[in-house]
Chain A
Amino acid sequence: MSRTAVMEGSFAVAEAVKACRPEVIAAYPISPQTHIIEELSKYVADNELSSKYVRADSEFSAASIVYGSSGTGARSYTASSSQGLLLMTEVLYAMAGTRLPVVLTGVNRTVSAPITIQPDHQDTMALRDTGVIQIYVENIQEAYATHIQAFKLAEDHDILLPVMVCMDGWILTHTFEPVKIEEQELVDKFLPPFVPKYRLDPKNPLTYGSYGDDEVPEFRYMMHFAMEKAKTKIQLIAEEYKEIFGDYFGGLTEAYKCEDAEIILVAMGSVIGTIKETIDQLRSEGKKVGVLKVRTYRPFPAEEIFEIVKNAKIVAVIDKSISVGQGGQLATDIKAALINKKTPPLVYSCIAGMGGREVNINTVKYIINKSENSLITNQVPDIDYIEIKRQYLE
């Protein structure tokens, strides 16, 4: 029987990881990822989990350790945040390029400077080009389910890429919600032991990490191709999860009240909950508004997004990060998804929630209000910094 308990987000993630029976875990502590890896060490100490748990000397080493263990055919897991994720960057490129199916939690926190432990998406956004699949979750239950699905996706022989489950630090890791914890037997059925396609094994000596003189374009292309295949796979896996556990958590995107919407907000992560709440309020006032949650950021579901927003008049994109000198990353990708299409909606790029600045119902209403004004004037600001303290800019 499954059980439902009120628990902290981090513990729900740890429960999910435990249920997946990773053979090797390697990690290094950083807020707000800490509770996940602490809980996992406790399971190991209490013999509730038989993983080899390697307490790494850095995130760089943690990522390298799971690189080695995954290459040796072991189901492998790590987690980090912020500076730690950045320290892993070089390894993550190599991991994806070597096609190692590691699962990691990217507990979102901004990056220095200035240093703070507040959440935004700046850290995982910096990793979007690594070849690591990125799935952003909205709530704790989804974080739980997505971790279980992530192993199945990563280890699929058509995919073989690392998968990062991105969840907002503090907002999701340190809050409590009722979570349905699935029965171990069913998780085992959904996720059988990892069968590596290749591995380091003296019985069949293979070379990993070759010098590639003339193979780079092909290897990159194959990674991209695997990402394309992942678009279908993610949906199939979500459906299979629903069949076994009864709950569906969405594939690449989730459209909420978008069918007839004139204004569609687009965002990722925990802010979706706040936006849904606002949409419900505004709908009761007769406003035609909806929200599109981008769940899978890499691979980027451009076609699916276009299909959802094509009849809207304006799309307001909320980025909790910025590519300095360019703008919001998600907004840029949304614009790219709409280009070359006939009569695409306007795109209004909003930077909000950086460094943990609150995005509440009023913030969302403000964005919708500005979207309405844009429709009247037919003018969209290139980029809008929401609730910025103007006095700093003078």
Chain B
Amino acid sequence: MVTTEKLNLLAPGHRACPGCGAAIALRQILRVVGRETIVVSATGCVETFTSPYGQSAWEVPWMHSLFENSAAVASGVEAALEAKGEKANVVIISGDGGTFDIGMGAMSGMFERKHNITYICYDNEAYMNTGVQRSSATPYAATTTTSPAGKNSYGKMEFKKDVPAIALAHDVEYVATTSIAYPQDLMNKVKKAIGIKGPKYIQIHTPCCIGWGFDSSQTIAMGKLAAETGLVPLFEVEKGKQMVVRKIKNTKPIQEYLNKQNRFRHLAKEDKEKIMEKLQEICNDNVKRFGISE
């Protein structure tokens, strides 16, 4: 670990916002995947802030093509390596929009064809690159620029899509959720994934200070709270083995998480108690379903 700790394959000077959760995820991922890696990314914040022409921050080979095809492009990369008898980790790093929504078909195809690829979704819970629009990863009741609160609306009216379950339904080799707030957990999971042959899916919770509305010094704290309330369960499922869940000693009330973010501010203002209760219910359900409590 001592030698890899020093490895930084994301050059400084990229254009991420201060306090960007996705940038933290990148550094943690690259630290464990190492140099023998080819990364494919979808259009989104990561693509935009790392790749300006002539100023790429990537010190591993990296390919971006479009918003909705990173899983297919990576399938081609992997096929080419196989055809040539070469070896490298093929890792996708794409956003929740590029994964949950527009890239779902390509990802499903990649899983089904059993490519030897680690698909990592950095989940900041909205289309941040285009100005914080709703995605199907946006949590229930959060406001975004396309799911604003109003007379007739309390923000996003639908629940977050369960993509890890969708990955599991494809019978992939490994599925995990993790968070930048738990770097060791994140790195262990990425490391485990790249060591397994076949398709793998990792979903990383990456708070976004601009999109969620919190101070840029609080990114990690926000990630921690998301896990501690039970809203974002952290688990892993290795094929053929039992699910392993990260336990939380004393889960915190969802209120604590909501109060700190502008995207949920409307819930405090008006009489939205039912909505709050619903959010708490989601957390309670997670705690029960995943056995989060110690």
- Segment of A68-76, A266-274, A300-308 in the binding face: A68-76
A23 touches B84 (CB 8 A): yes
B113 touches A54 (CB 8 A): yes
Task: Indicate whether A69 sits within 8 Å of B80 (C-beta atoms), given known contacts A58-B109, A61-B75.
Answer: yes
Bitwise, A193-204 to B at CB < 8 A (1) or not (0) is 000000011101
Closest residue to B82 on the A side, CB-wise?
A: A52
Task: Indicate whether A55 sits within 8 Å of B113 (C-beta atoms), given known contacts A211-B48, A211-B52, A212-B53.
Answer: yes
A24 touches B51 (CB 8 A): no
> Which residues from A are CB-within-8-Å of B51?
207, 209-211
> Which residues from A are CB-within-8-Å of B40?
68
Of A26, A69, A90, A94, the most chain B CB neighbours within 10 A belong to: A69
B62 touches A68 (CB 8 A): no
> Which residues from A are CB-within-8-Å of B74?
68
Distance in angstroms from B14 CB to nearest chain A CB is 11
A68 touches B77 (CB 8 A): yes
A56 at interface, CB cutoff 8 A:
yes
Closest residue to B41 on the A side, CB-wise?
A: A209
Bitwise, A54-90 to B at CB < 8 A (1) or not (0) is 1111101110111111111110100000000000001
> Which residues from A are CB-within-8-Å of B66?
64, 90-91, 94
A206 vs B105: C-alpha distance when bound (angstroms): 28
B36 at interface, CB cutoff 8 A:
yes
> Which residues from B are CB-within-8-Å of A68?
40, 63, 65, 72-80
Closest residue to A97 on the B side, CB-wise?
A: B65
A290 vs B100: C-alpha distance when bound (angstroms): 57
B83 touches A24 (CB 8 A): yes
Tally of contact residues, A, Cβ under 8 A: 44
- For chain A residues 20-62, which have a beta carbon within 8 Å of chain B? 23-24, 26, 50-52, 54-58, 60-62
B244 at interface, CB cutoff 8 A:
no
> Which residues from B are CB-within-8-Å of A60?
68-69, 72, 105-106
A69 touches B64 (CB 8 A): no
A208 vs B73: C-alpha distance when bound (angstroms): 12
A72 touches B65 (CB 8 A): no
Task: Indicate whether A24 sits within 8 Å of B58 (C-beta atoms), given known contacts A57-B112, A64-B73, A211-B51.
Answer: no
Q: How many residue pairs at the A-B interface have CB separations less than 8 Å? A: 163
Closest residue to B34 on the A side, CB-wise?
A: A202
> Which residues from A are CB-within-8-Å of B84?
23, 72-74
> Which residues from B are CB-within-8-Å of A213?
52-53
A23 vs B48: C-alpha distance when bound (angstroms): 31
Tally of contact residues, B, Cβ under 8 A: 44
A98 at interface, CB cutoff 8 A:
yes
> Which residues from B are CB-within-8-Å of A56?
72, 109
- For chain B residues 36-93, which have a beta carbon within 8 Å of chain A? 36-38, 40, 47-48, 51-54, 56, 58-66, 68-69, 71-84, 88
> Which residues from B are CB-within-8-Å of A51?
83
Closest residue to A68 on the B side, CB-wise?
A: B76
> Which residues from B are CB-within-8-Å of A215?
53
B108 at interface, CB cutoff 8 A:
yes
> Which residues from B are CB-within-8-Å of A57?
72, 105-106, 108-109, 112-113
A205 at interface, CB cutoff 8 A:
yes
> Which residues from B are CB-within-8-Å of A200?
38, 61, 63, 77
Q: Name 10 A/B residue pairs within 8 A (Cβ), A-sorted.
A: A56-B72, A57-B113, A66-B76, A67-B73, A68-B77, A71-B77, A205-B61, A209-B47, A211-B53, A213-B53
A50 vs B75: C-alpha distance when bound (angstroms): 18
A69 touches B76 (CB 8 A): yes
Distance in angstroms from A37 CB to nearest chain B CB is 15
7 closest Cβ pairs, A-B complex: A68-B76, A57-B109, A209-B64, A64-B72, A72-B80, A74-B80, A207-B56
B56 touches A61 (CB 8 A): no
Closest residue to A216 on the B side, CB-wise?
A: B53
B191 at interface, CB cutoff 8 A:
no
Of A68, A208, A210, the most chain B CB neighbours within 10 A belong to: A68
Task: Indicate whether A91 sits within 8 Å of B69 (C-beta atoms), given known contacts A72-B81, A205-B61, A207-B62.
Answer: yes
> Which residues from B are CB-within-8-Å of A72?
38, 76-77, 80-81, 84
Complex partner residue of B83 from A52, A64, A65, A71, CB under 8 angstroms: A52
A354 vs B76: C-alpha distance when bound (angstroms): 35
Known: A65-B72, A94-B65, A209-B51. 17 other contacts (CB 8 A): A56-B72, A57-B108, A57-B113, A61-B75, A64-B73, A68-B63, A68-B80, A70-B80, A71-B76, A74-B79, A98-B65, A202-B37, A209-B63, A210-B54, A211-B47, A211-B48, A213-B52
A202 touches B35 (CB 8 A): yes
A341 vs B56: C-alpha distance when bound (angstroms): 48
A54 touches B75 (CB 8 A): yes
A208 touches B62 (CB 8 A): yes
Of A58, A65, A70, the most chain B CB neighbours within 10 A belong to: A65
A64 vs B64: C-alpha distance when bound (angstroms): 11
Distance in angstroms from A53 CB to nearest chain B CB is 9
Closest residue to A58 on the B side, CB-wise?
A: B105
A65 touches B63 (CB 8 A): no
Of B48, B54, B68, B79, the most chain A CB neighbours within 10 A belong to: B79
A69 vs B58: C-alpha distance when bound (angstroms): 20
A333 vs B74: C-alpha distance when bound (angstroms): 38
A26 vs B35: C-alpha distance when bound (angstroms): 28
Complex partner residue of A67 from B37, B56, B65, CB under 8 angstroms: B65
B73 touches A65 (CB 8 A): yes
Distance in angstroms from A185 CB to nearest chain B CB is 22
Task: Indicate whether A202 sits within 8 Å of B60 (C-beta atoms), given known contacts A64-B72, A74-B79.
Answer: yes
Bitwise, A361-377 to B at CB < 8 A (1) or not (0) is 00000000000000000
Distance in angstroms from A353 CB to nearest chain B CB is 34
Distance in angstroms from B29 CB to nearest chain A CB is 15
Distance in angstroms from A208 CB to nearest chain B CB is 4
- For chain B residues 99-138, which have a beta carbon within 8 Å of chain A? 105-106, 108-109, 112-113
